[in-house]
Structure 1
Amino acid sequence: MNRLDHITLRQLRALRLIAEKGTISGAAQAMGLTGPAVHSQLKTLEDAVGATLVFREGRSRTTLTPQGAELVRAEAQLRATLDRAFRVIDALDRGQTGCVVLGAVSTAKYLAPRLVALLDAEFPDIEVVLKVANRAETIAGLGRGEFDLCIMGRPPREPLTDARPLADHPHVLIAAPDHPLAGRDAVCAAEMAGERFILRESGSGTRLLAERYLAGLDLPVAVRHLEMDSNETIKQSVMNGLGIAFISAHTVLYEVANGQIAVLRAAGTPVMRKWYLLRPLDAPASAAAERAADWICGNAGRAFPGLEALPFR
């Protein structure tokens, strides 16, 4: 028996919603069906797969079995593949030759729109869709096949990707313009020891780099610090004098140029990393994605300013 002949998208959606809601009744409500109808969908799917996909915990809680979890992962990849196909179909209907979904980590959102505008001008026959998320969400999206291309810093170990370096990615320490350390010719580690650091949340790429930087100065993260989940909140905190922050220089170009934020001439900075363009290796790239990738790698300097664009105050 070919199991694919007996599996439907509706059944897979029911399984995913059971996992998300934790109960069959919750999935039924989300689907606009009755509980018995969803239970029937689940039973038919289990019969087709030949495995138990969920088990009950207590009186009502439902949890996926390992087989069920694997099928939910496959459903996510299938949805992503169909979504990309529909985007390409829509682009073809508009007379374009294809669609490229470009993912970007949140730090790259200050640069990615410029890149999309350049791509639109260079390739009017290709629709470019930009999706911005944090690093963890972006890596998960790569694994689900949601992106044709992706911009981030350090490439992940999984999923496997073709990672092509784009440009330098400098990281600096920033403070309010009236901070005592602002405007100094040099700031040593000892002078930073008593400062409150404003850091990104644990797990973010910037946070990992900040921890390595502070460890290199023998300044552990255990020093006084605040934790923020966005670069915008960090910048506002710095401008309001709450502390100093380790941040991507590309996120503060506007504020530095307008005198709202000062870049400190701190020991060990700027910390240089790279921006990369990633392409998933688990599926062949479309012709449109290949064209866009080659152009991005050859013209990254037009969208990714170097450190010389960052004036010191």
Structure 2
Amino acid sequence: MSTESVTVINRFVSEERRELWSRSWKRFTSRPMSVIGLGIILTVVLLAVFAPVVAPYPAHAGKFTDFQNTLQSPSLEHPMGTDHVGRDVLTRVLFGYRLSLMLVGVVLGFGVPVGIMLGLVAGYYGGWTETIIMRATDTALALPPLVMALAITSALEPTLVNAMIAIAVLWWTWHARLVQSIVSSERNKEYVQAAKLAGASTPHILFREILPNTLSPILVKVTLDAGFVILIGAGLSFIGVGVQPPQPGLGTMVSQGTSYLPDSWWVSIFPGLAIFALVMGFNMLGDGLRDLFDVEVNR
């Protein structure tokens, strides 16, 4: 094949790919809730990344007290008021977003690759390999993530790192089952058989042929899982086994503020609304991606 022919083919493939992305983007933007969800997530990520710059009082995110300004109601100086030791609630919410997104990154960064690998192996090889991996997955699925995380963080020192480990321990199971079910139906299709006849290696078949066909449902599930991880992390912090003071965990802030309800409602309400907004953003984005890719992700 001549160089000119290869160039023409590559140009044609690139144009087809751009057209596909253009159509997909138009379908995605035709759903207002999906666009709103994406906007919320991007806004939160930017605020979290630049929290030291955009936060009005960065020092209030750590060890800081100002007993002359405790429990001040929302004002121009403190848009979300101050807490029981005089710290600016808005500042702590912005830094709390950092911790929540860090939790999501660590948990899913560990659980998704592990689940994908186990799901690929189980679905492709079948037989005893599939039986052993999936029975281990079923056993882990029988343990509620929040209960397991609570047990681990209670046994260990209650810190953010231990909370991440506790949640990540079981999160791979959902992705292993999802990928296994997809690979089981893909392994006997013609394109896989053609790759085998062409002499392709097993890693090539798994990662270059089959894996791309699982990315759409995996992406949808990752987006939806992010909201669950945030809620579990906030729940652990709320009961005192997650993020520890003076770190500005959103769940910890809600828990501390309950002691001052209903008079100083802002101490709990604003961190709670921050959790709600972030979880809703991920859920709306996940629903939009699910409609876009036309996949069904069960939990």
- Normalising by the residue count of structure 2, what TM-score does the alignment of the two structures yield? 0.24
Q: TM-score, normalised by structure 1?
A: 0.23
Q: Which protein has the bigger strand share?
A: 1
Higher share in helix: 2
Bigger relative contact order (CA 8 A; separation at least 6) = 2
